[in-house]
Amino acid sequence: MKNIRLYSLLCTLLLLTSCEIFKIDNYEEPSETLQGEVVDAATGEPILTDQGSEGIRVRLTELSWGDNVTHNPDFYCMPDGTFQNTKIFKGEYNVRVDGPFIPLVRENSEGVPLEDKSQTVNIEGVTKVKFEVQPFLKVEIVGDPMVSNGVIKAKVRVVRGVSEEEFREKIEPMGNYKDEYKNITDIQLFVSYSSTVGYRARDERWSSSIEYSGNSFNALLGEPVTIKSNGTIPSGRKVFVRAAARINYGTPEATGTRRWNYSEPMEVMIP
pLDDT, tens digit, 9 for 90 and up, residues 143-180? 999 999 999 999 999 999 999 999 999 999 999 999 99
Q: Is residue 105 in some structural domain?
A: yes
From 255, 182, 267, select the one nearest 216 (Cα to Cα).
Answer: 182
Q: Is residue 234 in some structural domain?
A: yes
**Has residue 20 got a pLDDT over 60?**
no
From 221, 205, 212, select the one nearest 187 (Cα to Cα).
Answer: 212
Query: What does the pLDDT average to over 6-22?
Result: 47
Q: Are residues 153 and 249 in the same domain?
A: yes
Instruction: Provide the pLDDT confidence category of residue 67 given band limits of 50, 70 and 90.
Output: low
**Has residue 13 got a pLDDT over 90?**
no
Q: For residue 98, what are the domain limits? A: 32-133
Instruction: Provide the pLDDT confidence category of residue 1 given band limits of 50, 70 and 90.
Output: very low
- Of 86, 109, 133, the last residue of a domain is 133
Answer for the pair 18, 111: CB distance below 8 angstroms, yes or no: no
Q: Can you give the pLDDT at residue 256? A: 83
Q: Is residue 71 in some structural domain?
A: yes
Percent of the chain with pLDDT over 70: 89
Answer for the pair 82, 35: CB distance below 8 angstroms, yes or no: yes
DSSP 74: P
Q: For residue 254, what is the domain's CATH number?
A: 2.60.40.2060
Largest CA distance in the chain: 94
- Of 98, 133, 168, the last residue of a domain is 133
Q: Is residue 225 in some structural domain?
A: yes
Query: What does the pLDDT average to over 190-196?
Result: 96
Q: Is residue 96 in some structural domain?
A: yes
Instruction: Report the number of distinct structural domains present in the chain.
Output: 2
Q: Is residue 186 in some structural domain?
A: yes
What pTM was computed for the model? 0.87
